[in-house]
Amino acid sequence: MIFAFVLLLGAVFSFTVGPEIASAKPADFPKKNIKIIVPFAAGGGTDTMARILASAAGKDYFDGRSLIVENMSGGGAVIGQTYVAKTAKPDGYTVMLYTSSCINNSLLKNVSYSYRDFKPIVGCNPDAEIVAVPWDSPYKSLDELLEAAKTDVVKVATPGHSSGHHLRAMNMARLMGLRFEYIHNDSAAMQLAQLMGGHCDASFMTVSEVSGILLDGKARGLGVMASKRDASIPEVSTFKEQGYEGWIDGANRGLACHKDVPEEIYKYLVEEFSKIVVSQRFVDAMTKANMVPGLQTPEEYQEYIDFTAKAIESLKPMLQNK
């Protein structure tokens, strides 16, 4: 299966679900459970994906050891990312849920680490972007929202300055001449509260994060940035269907470890996590949670990282003009 999406500057990137991968277990690894650091608060799409991954793994991989999810939120993911880059031992027992926030923080904030301090293990969850509005919003269509934003200020909720969602909104504003004013929250959960409470005019999120409240009638989706409608919210049309060509974008979640993890252990992590990501248990659980499963190899995920870093560099002057 192939899922392609246009990132910040409009270039196309795709992934493929790979074949079965041969095992090559190091002699003395693992001796204990493996920790997955989620640098965001519980409740968002990234946290949900990590817990599905850990549950799908059970004790059937990593020589019977478990995957333990630990939330380490704060600073727009900086605290958790700093921990993995600078504090945790690079021994393979600590991996991290990787999103574009790691690249954004590295390039745009005063942090002690670089996105190059991490090595990708797998990409496992492309998640389409959606523009949503409060349930009682005066904007009944994407056209109405975008037309209004050309003359009036539209308040857009994001999960944090320089987050992937902020970047996508900025890119849209730049290309379409829109007047967006940003309300930055500390997490997707807080962003949802802003949306449901009517404290913003619109919100840029991923489908998995907002589909629940859309189905409950607590918010309304105006457009999905995907090549086709999402099965979980089939009533929400795509940007393309509404005449906005090229708007195919979204989050691209994966796993990474410190670059200094020994090569033999790193290869084993790649092999085991790749098996989990293509397992029926993971695919079924992701589908049930209205999330998109899909495997990217380390090389494919590194391409995404490199491209995103280049795109962020191009937006850097705008991003730093807060």
pLDDT, tens only, 245-264 = 878 777 789 999 999 999 99
Do 132 and 115 lie in one domain? The reply is no
Q: Which residues pair with 2 in a beta bridge?
A: 16
Mean pLDDT to the nearest integer, 182-207 = 94
Q: Given this model, what pLDDT does residue 15 score?
A: 41
Are residue 160 and residue 220 in the same domain, yes or no?
A: yes
- Residue 249 has a pLDDT of 77
- CA dihedral (306, 311, 314, 315) positive or negative: negative
Q: Indicate the pLDDT class of residue 321, thresholds 50, 70 and 90.
A: low
How far does Cα 29 stand from its chain's mean position? 29
Confidence of residue 203 (pLDDT cuts 50, 70, 90): very high
Interval 267-275 mean pLDDT: 98
How many domains is the chain built from?
Answer: 2
Q: What is the pLDDT of residue 223?
A: 98
- Classified as helix, coil or strand, 71 is strand
User: CA-CA distance, 42 to 46, in Å (whole number)?
Assistant: 8
Do the beta carbons of residue 194 and residue 203 sit within 8 Å? yes
Final residue in a domain of this structure, among 177, 207, 242: 242
120-129 pLDDT, tens per residue?
999 998 778 9
Is 231 found in the same domain as 175? yes
Q: Are residues 6 and 113 in the same domain?
A: yes
Query: In angstroms, rounded to a whole number, what is the distance separating the alpha carbons of residues 39 and 251?
Result: 15
Decide if 75 contacts 110 (C-beta within 8 A): no
Q: Is residue 78 predicted with pLDDT exceeding 70?
A: yes
pLDDT > 70 in the chain, percent: 91
Cα 2 to chain centroid distance, Å, stands at 17
**Cα–Cα distance between 22 and 131 in angstroms, integer?**
41
> Helices (DSSP H) in the chain: which residue ranges?
45-57, 78-82, 100-108, 142-149, 164-176, 188-196, 207-215, 263-277, 280-288, 298-319
Q: Are 270 and 26 in contact (CB under 8 A)?
A: no
268 and 182 in a single domain? The answer is: no
Name the more confident of 11 and 312: 312
Q: Specify whether 8 is located in the same domain as 99.
A: yes
Domain boundary among 242, 262, 295: 242
pLDDT at 175: 86
Question: Which pLDDT value is given to residue 14?
Answer: 40
Q: Are residues 91 and 196 in the same domain?
A: no
Is residue 122 located within the same domain as residue 9?
yes
What is d(CA 229, CA 238) in angstroms, rounded to the nearest whole number? 6
121 lies in the same domain as 11:
yes
Q: Which domain holds residue 216?
A: 128-242
Location of structure tokens 């001796």: 31
Label the pairing between strands 202-206 and 250-258. Answer: unpaired
What's 167's domain CATH number? 3.40.190.10
Confidence of residue 12 (pLDDT cuts 50, 70, 90): very low
Question: Do 23 and 38 fall within a single domain?
Answer: yes
Give the pLDDT score at 20.
Answer: 46
83 shares a domain with 13: yes
Q: Which residue has the higher pLDDT, 155 or 43?
A: 155
Residue 181 has pLDDT above 50, yes or no: yes
Among 220, 242, 264, the domain boundary falls at: 242
Whether 118 and 133 share a structural domain: no
DSSP state of 238: B
> 259, 121 in Cβ contact below 8 A?
no
| CATH number assigned to the domain comprising residue 31 | 3.40.190.150
